[in-house]
Amino acid sequence: MYDKVVESTKYIKDKITKFNPKVAVILGSGLGNLVDVLEDKEYIDYKDIPNFPQSTVEGHEGRLVFGKIKGIDVLAMQGRFHYYEGYTMKEVTYPVYVMQQLGIQKLIVTNACGGINTDFKPGTLMLIKDFINLFGDNPLIGVNDKRFGVRFPDMSEPYKLELIDKAKSIADEINVEYKEGIYAGFMGPYYETAAEIVSIGRQGADAVGMSTVPETIAANYLGIDVLGIACITNMATGIQKHKHSHARVVETAEKASANLCAWVAKIIENIE
């Protein structure tokens, strides 16, 4: 895998010479318009990068976007890979391995998810304090390659406290409302059963979604600091009365994305 990652990285570095980002953002469903805030953009489609997996979900574009926010170089992933698409955990997190080789030090992960905590409502932005991995799998299984990271990585601060504190003070400064909570990553692709939501809530989760956990695990392993922001697009099964709809999830995420984008942009401006 190391050689593949190096080959992908080389392709990207050869194409993108104007940027040397230390910060990356993964954009969740309906949250892709953070890219509109970026200046002087350059794009690379996933399909053009050697060894890169391809995106299949509606509402997910598959490309890397390089750009600047207030003079700071940023790499955005527009479209991510989900376990439920049939990718292995290594494929899901492949871009994060490439990020490490590109020199990324901080990663902001966003997602659309279901609220379990009844203090939340659709549109709530939740700073992720910690995760629960319900995938029954993770990207670090297998022979360890020390060039990436250690065999038994620490996971006591999966979302860097320093970044959480920074995100909070910026939210207060620009008047963005937020909550905090624990994100449970569920395999999907079906929306959980009501019984599963009761169980996941008892385990301590405030929100549940089908992404973010694999990338967070890989980033921690790779020595990249992570900040996670979840957009609650619906209440989880059994809490909301109506049935789930992907279209509504995307619509709610799009509505919340103005706030999320302003917040993330300001965090990036102040990240060092």
Which residues line the annotated binding site for phosphate? Answer: 29, 60, 80-82, 112, 211
Q: Is the CB of residue 185 less than 8 Å from the CB of residue 211?
A: yes
Segment 128 to 167, residues that bind ligand HPA, using CB under 6 A: none
Q: Contacting ligand HPA (CB under 6 A), which of 23, 107, 113, 213? A: 113
234 part of the active site: yes
Give me the residue label for tokens 């390089």.
66
Question: Judged by CB, which is closer to ligand HPA: 149, or 201?
Answer: 201
167 part of the active site: no
Annotated binding site for a purine D-ribonucleoside: 192, 234
DSSP state of 35: G
Number of residues this chain uses to bind ligand HPA (CB under 6 A): 13
Q: Contacting ligand HPA (CB under 6 A), which of 73, 85, 91, 192? A: 192
55 part of the active site: no
Q: Is the CB of residue 9 less than 8 Å from the CB of residue 102?
A: yes
Q: Contacting ligand HPA (CB under 6 A), which of 12, 69, 108, 112? A: 112
Q: Contacting ligand HPA (CB under 6 A), which of 24, 208, 260, 265? A: 208
Task: Round to whole Å and give the CA distance between 239 and 210.
Answer: 18
Q: Cis peptide before 189, with omega less than 30 degrees from 0?
A: yes
84 part of the active site: yes
Q: Is the CB of residue 51 less than 8 Å from the CB of residue 45?
A: no
DSSP state of 40: E
Compose the 210-249 pattern: x for residues touching ligand HPA by CB under 6 A, - for all others: x----------------------xx-x------------x
Q: How many CB atoms neighbour CB 47 within 10 A?
A: 11
211 part of the active site: yes
Q: Which of 77, 112, 167, 205 is catalytic?
A: 112
By CB under 6 A, residue 28 contacts ligand HPA: no
60 part of the active site: yes
Q: Contacting ligand HPA (CB under 6 A), which of 114, 185, 201, 228? A: 114
| Whole-number Cα distances in Å, 161 to 109, 226, 253 | 15, 9, 25
85 part of the active site: yes
112 part of the active site: yes
Q: Is the CB of residue 135 less than 8 Å from the CB of residue 52?
A: no
Give me the residue label for tokens 């984008």.
261
Q: How many CB atoms neighbour CB 160 within 10 A?
A: 19
Beta-carbon contacts of residue 259 (< 8 Å; ≥ 6 apart): 125, 176, 177
Q: Which of 24, 46, 55, 60 is catalytic?
A: 60
Q: Contacting ligand HPA (CB under 6 A), which of 81, 83, 94, 191? A: 191
In sign, the C-alpha dihedral spanning 111, 234, 87, 135 is positive
Active site (catalytic) residues: 29, 60, 82, 84-85, 112, 210-211, 234, 246
> Which residues of the shown chain bind ligand HPA in the complex (CB under 6 A)?
112-114, 186, 191-192, 208-210, 233-234, 236, 249
